[in-house]
Chains A and B, each alone.
Chain A
């Protein structure tokens, strides 16, 4: 039987590279792509900036502290989406079995292409350089996890192919925590059972792993044997588990009124997406981060499914009033809706029906959505004391292939 070959393409500092490719002033300079306000975090530092210690997740202040010459570029989602769409189009010419896992990562089954690993990697790298002027790292192996981990070797612009004979030696180079898909918590749970390395997992055996960790135990065992078969699901909106929006506030928030204004606009953003994608949920989550960087989340079960702003806002407001004292100013606020069901937007509950306001509310939402879809999403929003929650410019990895110009 032909040995399966999986290729993983992981773009190098994708957002920063695209910015450098489209703006010659930025070539060779330490730059970092960040969200739309100075208080947001770094999403993608260029390799020049990384050399100075700038990392993804740094605040803009931290980035400037470690590298005073770093140029902060506000993210331009449409540019990255365009590039990602072009990459997907090209990869599908090589193998129709291509999955864009996120905006800057793709998996391809190249078993049937009839070309060698090196030939395909060379073709992809040449195309990226010529057409988009960016680079990506390629890993090839017989399983998805190994291919993904192989992209980390020789990054940036790397290539690493794991041959079948040496795959266990390759896996054993990593600690369990470093294996793609095994998080900190799983690694801790395994360590508590005396399992620290992939070799320990194999020694422990499949039956014991299943007894101890269930289905997850099987996945960990298969992965440590290089046998994982399941294609990683792309990060898409197809099977949403939650819808959330968060924003780092323009300045620290000291008063309840201002915080509630943000919460209203975030609730509207969550509701708009839920309505648009025909989802309803019943758990509302409020997340706040204080300016000493402590983050706390609170959740409330509504007891009914909804997609409506007024339900989400009422729950988030109650969570805020019950739990947040405003003793320490806030720098980040987020609102989320989870336990989603797909099939239609729910805009009124029993209370709305009894009070006779359900029809008015449904008409109002429909009019808002109609106007927003005709003009620019977000043109009509809830009034909120003049505070404008700026639509996030951070692109979601969920929609890598949309283009609109």
Chain B
């Protein structure tokens, strides 16, 4: 498992009254379909809220971050 990086990724997500649900993200040109969200939580950094998700595609685990400030998705761990 590799962690400790923060790479911006393209992602598709559903935003509704239940919250944010990432559905897929693009990993170096390869579309990863998210099969399960294992954990989701929020953290605050200097007043900005970061939405964090531990997800899996059925095989590998990934940690995705969504920044409420710049509305971008980041990959923070995979393995």
Q: Is the interface of A mostly helix, strand, loop or mixed?
A: helix
Q: Complex formed: what's the CA distance from A132 to B55 in Å?
A: 10
Given A405-B19, A405-B20: A25 touches B4 (CB 8 Å cut-off)? yes
Which of A75-83, A165-173, A309-317 lines the interface with chain B? A75-83
Q: Are A131 and B3 in contact (CB under 8 A)?
A: no
Binds B, one of A15-23, A65-73, A278-286: A15-23
Contact A21 to B41, CB < 8 A, known contacts A405-B19, A405-B20: no
> How far does the alpha carbon of A294 sit from the alpha carbon of B36 in the complex, in Å?
48
> A121 to nearest B CB, angstroms?
21
- Residues in A260-281 with C-beta less than 8 Å from chain B: none
What are the residues of chain B within 8 A of A22 when measuring CB–CB? 38-39, 41, 52, 54, 63
Closest Cβ–Cβ distance, residue A237 to chain B (whole Å): 22
Judged by a CB distance under 8 angstroms, whether B72 is at the interface is no
Within 8 A of A (CB), among B46-64: 51-52, 54, 61, 63
Q: For A405, list chain B residues within 8 Å (CB).
A: 19-20, 40-42, 51
Given that A78-B41, A78-B42, A405-B19 are known contacts, is A24 also in contact with B3, CB under 8 Å in the complex?
A: yes
Residue A133 at the B interface, CB < 8 A? yes
CB distance from B37 to the nearest CB of A (A): 10
**B42 to A83, Cβ gap below 8 A?**
no
Q: Is A199 an interface residue (CB 8 A)?
A: no
Check: B77 CB closer than 8 A to any chain A CB: yes
B14 within 8 Å of A (CB atoms): no
Question: Which B residues are CB-close (under 8 A) to A83?
Answer: 39
Which chain A residues border B51 with CB–CB below 8 Å?
A: 405
8 Å CB interface, B15-71 against A: 19-20, 36, 38-43, 51-52, 54, 61, 63
Contact status A82-B39, CB under 8 Å? yes
Docked CA distance A23–B43 (Å): 14
Specify the main secondary structure of chain B where it touches its partner.
strand
**Residue A225 at the chain B interface, CB threshold 8 Å:** no
Q: How many A-B residue pairs have CB under 8 A?
A: 46
A27 within 8 A of B: yes
A131 to B58, CA, bound (A): 11
Rounded to whole angstroms, the CA-CA distance of A117 and B50 in the bound complex is: 42
CA distance A27 to B38 in the complex (A): 16
For A21, list chain B residues within 8 Å (CB). 38-39, 54
Tell me the nearest residue of chain B to A18, going by C-beta.
B39
CB B12 to nearest CB in A, in angstroms, measures 18
Q: A392 to chain B: closest CB distance in Å?
A: 15
Considering the complex, give the chain B residue whose CB is closest to the CB of A77: B41
Given contacts A405-B19, A405-B20, A405-B51, contact A25 B39 (CB under 8 A): no
The answer to whether B41 and A25 touch across the interface, beta carbons within 8 angstroms, is no
Q: A131 near B43 (CB under 8 angstroms)?
A: no
Which residues from A are CB-within-8-Å of B63?
Answer: 22-23
In contact, A132 and B39 (Cβ under 8 angstroms): yes
Q: Is the CB of B40 within 8 A of A24?
A: no
State whether A79 touches B20 (Cβ < 8 A).
Answer: no
B1 A132 Cβ-Cβ under 8 A = no
Residues of the B chain whose Cβ atoms lie less than 8 Å from the Cβ of A25 = 3-4
* Contact present for B40 and A23 (CB under 8 Å): no
Compute how far the CA of A186 lies from the CA of B43 in the bound complex, rounded to whole angstroms: 43
Q: How far is the CB of B69 from chain A (nearest CB, A)?
A: 15
Bound together, the chains give a CA A347 to CA B40 distance in angstroms of 38
A21, B40: Cα distance in complex, Å: 12
A131 engages B77 (CB within 8 Å): no
Are A23 and B42 neighbours in the complex by a CB distance under 8 Å? no
Q: B residues within 8 A CB of A132?
A: 38-39
Complex: how many Å from CA A401 to CA B24? 27
Chain B's closest residue to A132 (CB) is B38
**Structural contact, B1 and A82, CB atoms closer than 8 A:** no
The answer to whether A82 and B41 touch across the interface, beta carbons within 8 angstroms, is yes
Assembled-state Cα–Cα distance A132/B39 (Å): 7
Enumerate 26 A-B pairs (CB-CB under 8 Å) in ascending A order: A21-B38, A21-B54, A22-B41, A22-B63, A23-B3, A23-B63, A23-B77, A24-B1, A24-B2, A24-B3, A24-B61, A24-B77, A24-B79, A76-B43, A78-B41, A78-B42, A82-B39, A82-B40, A131-B36, A132-B38, A133-B38, A133-B61, A405-B19, A405-B40, A405-B41, A405-B42
Supply 14 further A-B pairs (C-beta < 8 A) apart from A25-B4, A79-B41: A21-B39, A21-B54, A22-B41, A22-B52, A22-B54, A24-B2, A24-B61, A78-B41, A82-B40, A131-B38, A132-B39, A133-B38, A405-B40, A405-B51
